[in-house]
Structures are given as C-alpha cells and as structure tokens.
Amino acid sequence: MLRAEALEKRFGAEAVLNNVSFSLGEEETIAVVGPSGCGKTTLLYMLCGLSAPSAGQVLLDGKPVNGPRSDISIILQDYGLLPWKTVLDNVALGLKVQGVGRRKRLQRAEAVLDELGIAAKAGDYPGTLSGGQQQRVAIARAFVTRPRLMLLDEPFSSLDAMTREKMQGIMLNVWSRRRVPSVLVTHSLEEAVTLGRKILVLGGSPATPVACFDNPGFGDPDLKTTDAGFAMLRDIRKTLEERW
C-alpha cells in the first residue's frame, strides 16, 4: 500500500538520504533503524508530505503523496502536542481541521483517550503530564482520524526503560485492534525487533538502506528474549557494525 521509490534528500549541498526504496503491505509494520542524525526524521517527513524529496517519490495506494494529508498520521519525535490546548482538544485537533463538528470530534477524541486509559486527563494541559502520559495522548491524537498510514518517530526513546516497555505493550495492543500499516523509526534495535514486521537498516553517508530483515515473530513483547529474537538482534548488529 505504501511504496518509497528512490527517495533522496539534500539540504543545500549536504546529501542526507540517498536512494531509499522500500514497500509496506496491508497490516504490516516496518521499523527503520539507524544511528542518530542519519536522516530518519527526514525520511518520515518525506513519507507524510511535510517535506518534499529532492528526488524520487512516495506512493500511497499507487498515488503520489505531494503534501500533508489527513489520512496519514505522524507521531512527531517529541509528541507534537500543543501546550496551549487541553489533552482533549489536542486529540480532537486532527478532526477539527477536517471540519468535524465540535460535539462529534470531542466524542471521538474521548473514546480514543478512554481506549488508551488516559481519559481522566482529558481536561489537563500537556505540560502537566508525565512523558508516558504525553506519549499516550500523542498516540490517541494519531489514531483518532482513523488513518490509512501511521508514522512514528522514535516514539518511546525519551521514556525510562519501564515506561517504554509498558508503552510498547499499549502500542501493540492498539495496533493489533486496528492493524494500521505503520512505519516506525527508532535507534533501539530491540524496539525494532519487537514492533517491526520488516526491519530496514540505514547505513552510510548519505544514508541508504543496507539491509532489510524479515521478522515474522514481531508483535510479541517477549520475542527479544527468545532464540529467534536473539538471532535477529545479532544479525542486525552485525550489519550495522560492518557498515558504520
């Protein structure tokens, strides 16, 4: 359903990404791993139309993505919540820009907050929430519009280890119910192995895909403690070490 074709991004003379191609099927997730600064955020910005590729194109259901659109949701690196809006209004914002009426959008926002177990915070402002709570609000905000495609930029990297595991569980839970095709960017290999049906490894400078792993065991929080999970992690590490 999603195809990235020979994507390239330059900022002035600096080439950040080169020849990035991959595809994503229905009910699939792909985890993109690579070190900080290699261009992961840049890639997601191109996938959702926030930034135009210098070359190549993004196709969603066969049609090019030319700009931001409401059927692609992105969870930005630091959640992207607006501090001057309450949790409920933040979650409802995607529906508001679509022109959904106030009552309807607040109802839908409340339902998603409820699903994520954070309805009690609906009237609070994001600045008063913990990192894990903000993360849940951001997930609610992204799902409320029932997107066709979900993009996640290092969603759990600023959380402590315990909260991160819990959030991964919550994410898997929500995802298993909706099965929205998702692209997840992360610098944590374990997270990639837990959440990615495919794992795309970026390497080199400018960064380009150096390997793509098939990970049929994804979606199991305990995978990383099994032999298959260990083997997967080892293979990815080896690829990264060779290329960096």
Ligand X SMILES: Nc1ncnc2c1ncn2[C@@H]1O[C@H](COP(=O)(O)OP(=O)(O)O)[C@@H](O)[C@H]1O
Nearer to another protein, 84 or 230 (CB): 84
The residues pairing with 233 across neighbouring beta strands, listed in sequence order, are none
Nearer to ligand X, 37 or 64 (CB): 37
Nearer to ligand X, 115 or 154 (CB): 154
Instruction: Tell me how far, at minimum, the Cβ of 118 lies from Mg ion, in Å.
Output: 25
Task: Give the contact letters, 10-49, x = binds to another protein (CB under 8 A), - = no.
Answer: --------------------------------------x-
Site for ligand X in 42-81 (CB under 6 A): 42
Helix axes 102-115, 131-143, angle to 10 degrees: 130
Nearer to ligand X, 86 or 158 (CB): 158
Nearer to another protein, 150 or 201 (CB): 150
Question: What stretch of H or E contains 94?
Answer: helix 87-97
Which entry of Mg ion, ligand X, another protein, none binds 127, CB below 5 to 8 A by partner kind? another protein
Provide CB contacts within 8 A for 4, sequence distance 6+.
20, 21, 22, 23, 43, 46, 47, 56, 58
Helix, strand or coil, per DSSP, at residue 226: coil
Counting other chains too, the contacts that 79-82 makes at CB distance below 8 Å and 24 or more residues apart are 79/126, 79/134, 79/135, 79/137, 79/138, 80/138, 80/141, 81/126, 81/134, 81/137, 81/138, 81/141, 82/126
Among 29, 145, 208, 215, binds another protein (CB under 8 A): 145
Q: Which of 168, 127, 126, 175 is nearest to 28 (CA)?
A: 175
Among 25, 35, 37, 68, binds another protein (CB under 8 A): 68
Tokens, residue 151: 């993009």
Among 98, 107, 205, 226, binds another protein (CB under 8 A): 98
Stretch that binds another protein, among 65-73, 104-112, 175-183, 220-228 (CB under 8 A): 65-73
Q: Which amino acid is at 167?
A: M
Residue 41 binds Mg ion (CB under 5 A): yes
The site for another protein (CB under 8 A) is made up of 48, 50, 68-70, 72-74, 76, 78, 80-85, 93-94, 96-98, 125, 127-130, 145
